[in-house]
Structure 1
């Protein structure tokens, strides 16, 4: 596998996280798949990993293996018509991207403010 194929697979996985989120909210998705989808999404966006990233090589295995395997499993459990509908919703993601950027700016500002307060206490 070359770098180009790897990048394409990673982009597909990123899109599939949004598809999982949309499928979680879909009324035709079975309850047990919704639970599994939430667990996979939470693990994918969580800063806490099963294997910490500071452990050489093994630390990134969960990012490269566990998350894509979880996403693939959940997508296979979701009814095909729900997946198609969710992929169509994902195509119209401009609003979602804007919300993500706003959330990222807010979080960065919050961390900046916290660091500023800590520095003021000690300086």
Structure 2
């Protein structure tokens, strides 16, 4: 019979992983804010914009369906890009961007926006269904 210790250890590991993901998400948003702020040095602004755009892009350099390499680029490129940008942005300014990013991330999601997107998908599905019925 398995003891409770491994389960507790797994929960802690998952908790740390969730915290790391939340921090990464906040930092990507902070980089996006840094890229748009006039106080950010030009080189940092360009790199911050590139890292944030890559992290937020639905398209990866290496597609996720390629075993190991597909996920490895996300696990390496984004954190390394964030690390490099952090070296280029003054600490006090980055702390301000992180604070703003944390506030933005806590904002509630728009239920109206969700319903709008769902309505569009349903309408497209209905139109496709009508088209297929007419062609049959």
TM range (shorter): 0.7 to 0.9
Structure 1, gaps ≥5 residues long: none
Tell me, yes or no, if structure 1 residue 114 matches structure 2 residue 108. Answer: no
Aligned to 2:4: none
- Structure 1 outlier segments of 4+, above 3 Å: 100-104, 106-116
User: TM-score, structure 1 length as denominator?
Assistant: 0.78
Higher relative contact order (CA 8 A, sep 6+): 1
Larger Rg: 2
Aligned to 2:23: 12
From 54, 57, 62, give the equivalent of 1:46: 57
Matches for 1:44-83 after TM superposition, within 5 Å: 44-83=55-94
In 1, distance between residues paired with 2:118 and 2:82?
A: 28
Number of equivalent positions = 121
RMSD of Structure 2 on Structure 1 (CA): 2.6
Q: Is the 8 A contact 2:26 2:102 kept in 1?
A: no
- How far did 1:103 drift? 8.7
